[in-house]
Amino acid sequence: VAVAKLKSEYGTFDITIYQEINKDCKEHVFISMGDYRNGPVRIHSECFTGDVLASLTCDCGSQLHQALSLIANERKGAIVYLRQEGRDIGLSEKIKAYYLQQNNGMDTIEANLFLGHKPDNRNFHQAAWILKDQGFKKVHLLTNNPVKMEYLKLHGLDVDVENLQGRVNPDNYKYLYTKKIKMGHKIKLD
Ligand SMILES: [Zn+2]
């Protein structure tokens, strides 16, 4: 629905906005640089606390900024930024889940289930549609989440994966441990 240039500390990107055709009208973002189809690609789900507030509770912000600097270094690549906050339960539900983790000893999955959500409500169909709309046949994907690769393959895209290791710290260790053990993420923990 909209395209422009975006100058950032990482260089100049092209920014394209896609809007879902349903009642939510969610706006997803495609940010690209240079010969982007031949550069690294990050599919990133919105995380207000991690991406904007530099939260240490998860690894989202560090993964987003690592992807931006990898793309800037190679002067090519893209990020699909999906508006599915808190594994798509929304910001207020995510903060309720944080409260349960902080005060009731639950892990991230137990908290989501307690609140009546699925452990992970996200899907990556939109990402596949956006990448195909942008002319991708093959995707060099930056991720530690095997599910993203499966979604792209489902849509007929060739995928090779480069592991993207977010920053591990004492505050997100349990969260990352849960994602590794219960959700199959390929995360290196000491
Ligand atoms: Zn996060």
| Cα of 58 from ligand 1 centre, angstroms | 5
Ligand 1 midpoint to CA 72 (Å): 22
Active site residues: 120, 122
Q: Ligand 1 centroid to 151 CA: how many Å? A: 21
pLDDT in tens, 63-96: 999 999 999 999 999 999 999 999 999 999 999 9
- Cβ neighbours of residue 57 under 8 Å, at least 6 residues apart? 49, 50, 98, 171, 172, 175
Residue 38, SS3 per DSSP? helix
- Residue bearing the bigger pLDDT, 187 or 115: 115
CA of 61 to the centre of ligand 1 (A): 7
Chain position carrying tokens 């409500």 = 121
Tens of pLDDT, residues 168-183: 888 888 888 888 888 8
At 27 the pLDDT is 96
